[in-house]
Amino acid sequence: MELDRYRSERVTVVHQTNTGAPGALNHAISLARGPYIAVHDAGDASRPDRLQEQSRALDAEPSLVGVGCFTEDLMVQDNGGTTREKLNDDKPERLNHRDFLAPRNFLSGGEVMFRKEIHQKVGGYRSAFRYAQDRDLWLRMSMLGDFGIVQTMLYERRIYAQGVKASLRKSIMQKQLSHFARECAQMRMQKGYDLVDIFSDQAPMYRARTKTAADNLARYALWYLYHDDHESANILADLAIRERVTLRSVGINAIAKTTTVSNGRHEAIKSLLRRKISKFDMQKPETLIRR
């Protein structure tokens, strides 16, 4: 492999069978010799002073379990050019467990440096949360201490134009599992254990059905409706109803069932959908059906 050609006393290349991100991360962390762990996601970019700034923050406050930073989201076009999409510089200086229970996830997986000791103590990344393993880990680590935020932009998250379309299934699963991570955290606070402790990787089968999850599925159905993929839209609209009956899930389900409409009505619906979806959703997604 290309990485095997790289020679440095400070870099070790490790090969293993594919265990998914949680298993690979846990294995790499088990081999790390230092007290701090910094995960860098593929395709992203850390500023040259990131490791220094974050390690200083952890050295200065031994009570912190980890440290994040300000981040920048960059959209990478097919021609290799980049455009700034968002500067995430509205994070507080500290985050406690209550902050991680809120809907917003302040920390992405690649921007954080955390203490290896705390990672090991809480059981590491869990494979039941594949695609949302970071949110689950932050929730369990934050029960033992706060996270700090270095108030400087130290990490660039790269969003690839083709990847946005190709990773829709991943995005749907990520949102559902992120909700489930919060549910498990609340259960752990009350009882000292959660559903993953009981059912392992099958635990998400027993998650609670929520209005937020139903509305998210309905939003994805909107995306497909806008791009005239009624088959995929109907799948998601049905899942939204099964998740929970809400005004949004019922409304989108009704629209999705209208597969043949007049040109005038079709354009009216498209105009409505255009106002409801974000600029990311303007890109045509891949169909959910694999044939």
3-state secondary structure 38-81: ECCCCCCEECCCHHHHHHHHHHHCCCCCEEEEEEEEEEECCCCC
Q: What pLDDT is attached to residue 262?
A: 46
Report the chain (291 residues): mean pLDDT per 10 consecutive residues: 75 86 94 95 92 98 97 82 83 96 92 98 96 96 98 91 62 90 97 97 94 88 81 90 89 73 54 56 60 54
Q: What pLDDT is attached to residue 279?
A: 47
155 DSSP assignment: E
Q: What pLDDT is attached to residue 158?
A: 87
Q: What pLDDT is attached to residue 121?
A: 98
Long-range contacts from 255-264, C-beta under 8 angstroms, 24+ separation: 255/225, 256/221, 256/225, 256/230, 259/230, 259/234
Q: What pLDDT is attached to residue 252?
A: 81
Please name which of 113, 110, 141, 111 lies closest in space to residue 125, comparing C-alpha atoms.
Answer: 141
CA angle centred on 155, ends 149 and 159, rounded to 5°: 125
Q: What pLDDT is attached to residue 114?
A: 98
Which bin fits 95, alpha (ψ -120 to 50), beta or left (φ > 0)?
beta
Rounded-to-integer distance, Cα 45 and Cα 72, Å = 10
205 DSSP assignment: G
- Residue 69 bridge partners (DSSP): 150
Q: What pLDDT is attached to residue 275?
A: 58
Domains in the chain, start-ordered, CATH in brackets? 16-161 (3.90.550.10), 165-282 (no CATH)
Q: What pLDDT is attached to residue 146?
A: 98
- Please give the model's pTM, rounded to 2 decimal places: 0.87
Q: What pLDDT is attached to residue 179?
A: 93
Got the DSSP string for 217-268? Answer: HHHHHHHHHHTT-HHHHHHHHHHHHHH---HHHHHHHHHHT--S--HHHHHH
